[in-house]
A = this chain, B = another copy of it.
Amino acid sequence: MRGFYIGRFQPYHNGHHTMVSTIADEVDELVLGIGSAGDSHSAHDPFTAGERIMMITKAVREYEREHDLVTYVVPIEDLNRNSVWVSHVQSMSPSFEVAYSNNPLVVQLFEEAGIEVRQSSMFERDRLEGSDIRQRMIDGETWRDRVPDAVVETIEEINGIQRLRTVAEDDVVERWEAKNGSGGESARRDDD
């Protein structure tokens, strides 16, 4: 049986990694869908799809042997239309029988399309860890112990911490404006 597990993986961390290990016991093959694949260089989405592909492919390699698991790592660009999102995912991914997610919208969309979804309480925790790790990277706190080694390597190779800190500054200005300026402001990649 083939399963599908989607995340933005900004970055791929130990929460995700544990989840993959759990799923590995239930399926023969697993597709890891990288959501919002076109987004990068923001505080919310610092890493490109290509960078995330490297992180994940290298991190799950050990499971491939241990669990005799076949994995596919597939970037999925946003289509910004919930009603066709499941079809989009299905066309970009090897076919799958079961989806793993705890995101309410993802669950709803897959279930309306008649696809089995498995949830677990572990997912919730997982869901909240990403922004936490990015904040630690920005603040200079320890983060290396919260992600697989392959992820540390990739982030260092691309000088990812520096990038994240720089683009996060942009958001700081924006938040300052949002609090003080005429609401609705949303800074872009240019001066005002």
Point out residues on A near B: beta carbons under 8 Å: 6-8, 10, 16, 33, 35-44, 48-51, 53-54, 57, 72-75, 77-79, 81-88, 90-95, 101-109, 112, 123, 126-132, 134-135, 138, 158, 163, 166-175, 177-178, 181-192
Contact = CB atoms under 8 A, between A and B. Distances in A.
What 4 A-B pairs have minimum CB-CB distances, sorted nearest first?
Answer: A130-B192, A35-B190, A83-B91, A41-B82
Contacts of A177: 128, 131
Given A38-B91, A41-B82, A41-B83, 6 more contacts: A6-B191, A44-B182, A83-B91, A84-B88, A84-B91, A130-B192
A91 B44 contact: no
* Central interface residue in A83, A87, A131, by most chain B CB within 10 Å: A83
Q: Which of A106, A175, A191 has the most CB of B within 10 A?
A: A191
A105 B183 contact: no
A23 to B, nearest CB: 13
A182 to B, nearest CB: 5
10 contacts: A40-B91, A50-B92, A51-B94, A81-B88, A95-B158, A101-B190, A105-B170, A131-B185, A138-B182, A178-B183
B175 A183 contact: yes
